[in-house]
């Protein structure tokens, strides 16, 4: 197979699945991993893919700008595993803040029936997912509605947040860089998440392996702003090499 044919097939896989892994592509095409890395670098330099640890992701549109339903379906197994680990960190009676990420939506999906909580969010999907939980008090942060992300933002959202006490904030990001921290492609969401982190007593980032080492346009938090990072088992290699001494507690899904 010619390199251009292989690269076109890699690009098609990335746009279908959202991400590709070097080790998987090497097996699929029966070539060395170094050959795949060169292919990914080539496609990345031309703006087709965005390199991540161990692979690459589709760069046709930032994840946070994709329709919510499409984001929700990507890395679903990893997000579910992360959610099951993170749910163990929530205590009865707490007020928890949830961002509008698809990973955090999986977290609220696993809140046990009968657990008393107050859940605050600017996400419509979070409110819908928890509407049947009689033990959960829901607080919707209003503002200017963004249909693509099914969320509210703006000055009214920020004013509503400031009026509340928040015990724990659970959120995601499009990238976690070991030097520069957490980032987002959307400036408004980056600004809001920064405020949420400053307002909460305790902060937890839910980051799957495809986001490890990633950088996006707007950084909203440094490593010392986060108390805990929960990720999936596929991130162990990267974490071992890049997070040897960090100011947060690093947890892996089971």
In the DSSP assignment, the letter for residue 89 is G
Q: What is the pLDDT of residue 71?
A: 61
pLDDT value, residue 48: 79
CA-derived radius of gyration, the chain: 19
Instruction: Select from 4, 35, 9 the least CA-distant residue to 22.
Output: 35
- Residue-level pLDDT at 246: 92
Averaged in consecutive runs of 10 residues, what is the pLDDT profile of the chain (254 residues)?
Answer: 88 83 94 94 83 81 52 77 97 98 95 97 96 96 88 94 98 94 90 97 96 89 98 92 93 94
Question: So what's the architecture of 67-252 in CATH?
Answer: 3-Layer(aba) Sandwich (3.40)
Q: Do 86 and 106 form a contact (C-beta atoms < 8 A)?
A: no
- The answer to whether the CB of 59 falls within 8 A of the CB of 79 is no
- From the candidate CATH numbers 1.10.10.60, 3.40.50.2020, 2.60.40.10, 1.10.10.10, the one assigned to the domain spanning 3-59: 1.10.10.10
Q: Domain segments of the chain: what residues? A: 3-59, 67-252
Residue 64's pLDDT is: 44
Token pair 């990267």: residue: 238
pTM value is 0.75
């Amino acid at each position: 197979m010619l390199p251009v044919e292989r690269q076109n097939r890699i690009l098609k896989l990335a746009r279908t699945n959202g991400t590709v892994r070097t080790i998987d592509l090497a097996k699929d095409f029966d070539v060395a991993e170094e050959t795949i890395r060169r292919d990914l670098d080539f496609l990345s330099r031309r703006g087709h893919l965005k390199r991540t640890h161990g692979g690459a992701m589709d760069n046709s549109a930032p994840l946070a700008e994709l329709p919510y339903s499409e984001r929700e379906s990507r890395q679903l197994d990893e997000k579910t595993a992360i959610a099951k680990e993170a749910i163990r960190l929530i205590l009865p009676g707490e007020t928890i803040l949830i961002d509008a990420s698809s990973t955090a939506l999986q977290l609220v999906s696993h809140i046990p029936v009968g657990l008393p909580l107050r859940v605050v969010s600017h996400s419509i999907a979070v409110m819908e997912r928890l509407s049947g939980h009689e033990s959960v008090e829901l607080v919707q942060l209003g503002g200017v509605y963004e249909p693509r992300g099914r969320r509210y933002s703006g000055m009214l959202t920020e004013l509503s947040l400031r009026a509340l006490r928040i015990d724990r904030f659970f959120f995601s990001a499009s990238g976690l860089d070991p030097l520069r921290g957490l980032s987002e492609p959307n400036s408004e969401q980056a600004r809001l998440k920064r405020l949420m982190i400053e307002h909460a007593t305790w902060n937890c980032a839910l980051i799957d392996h495809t986001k490890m080492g990633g950088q996006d346009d707007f950084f909203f938090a440094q490593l010392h702003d986060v108390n805990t990072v929960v990720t999936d088992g596929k991130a162990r290699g990267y974490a071992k090499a890049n997070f040897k001494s960090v100011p947060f507690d690093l947890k892996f899904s089971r």
